[in-house]
Amino acid sequence: MAKKDAPPRWDRRMQQRLARGEAAALGECYDRFASLVHGLAHRVLGDEEAADGITREVFVHVWEHPESYDPKQVPLRSWIAMLTHRLAVQRLHAAGTAALAQGGQGTPEDLERRVRQASIAARADFIVTSMPVPLRAALERAYFQRRDYRQTAVDLDIEEEEARRRLRLGLQLLSTAHEAAPSGVPPEAGEAW
């Protein structure tokens, strides 16, 4: 059995391959995480073109600074999501600040509220897409299909108590979207997460 603190093998190997400058590693990383990056960036920015730009920035950063990722600290997926979130929030904040400086509507407080709401929404999306399929399936039925735990149990062919447990755990995970960066995450990786 692997040590509890050993990072997942794929993450460790990917970091090593990127550090050696293997272009194929970047391609694999892009194939695996591009939709996550683009989706999170779009959720924060609400703009397809801006999300495309953040996606490029994230993978350029991954390519140029593979040493900034430490597989012992956080999974690669989470690190890339945090990097995406930080860059997207910075862009949203910069664009809002520039608009205010040019006489745009709103106040700095309105801008901070928009940035915070976008940040929470992006974290919530990441949490939902990262949670185990059984929890996500239960939450999707409860939220999108307006099913209660009894109906969810029937839909998923599980006991009612198991449906309640899945919904409770899924909601507990989702409630962490309002919290700050997870412990153990380096400040530069999670400062806006």
Q: Is the pTM of this model over 0.75?
A: no
Q: Tell me the pLDDT tens digit for each residue of 27-39.
A: 999 999 999 999 9
pLDDT digits (tens, 9 = 90+) for 63-94: 999 999 999 888 999 899 989 999 999 998 88
If you average pLDDT over every residue of the chain, what do you get?
85
Contacts of 95 (CB under 8 A, 6+ apart): none
pLDDT of residue 190: 39
Q: Has residue 191 got a pLDDT over 70?
A: no
Per mean pLDDT, which of 114-128, 140-154, 167-181 is the most reliable?
140-154
**How long is the chain?**
193
pLDDT band with cut points at 50, 70 and 90 for residue 109: confident
How many angstroms separate the Cα of 53 from the Cα of each of 37, 48, 80, 97, 144?
11, 9, 15, 19, 31
For each of the domains in the chain, give its residue range(s) and CATH number, in order of start: 8-192 (1.10.1740.10)
What was the pLDDT predicted at 63? 97
Of 38, 42, 36, give the one whose Cα is nearest residue 77: 36
Specify the higher pLDDT residue, 49 or 113.
Answer: 49
At which residue do the structure tokens 């399929």 appear? 133
> Is residue 182 scored above 60 in pLDDT?
no
Mean pLDDT over residues 117-135, rounded?
A: 83
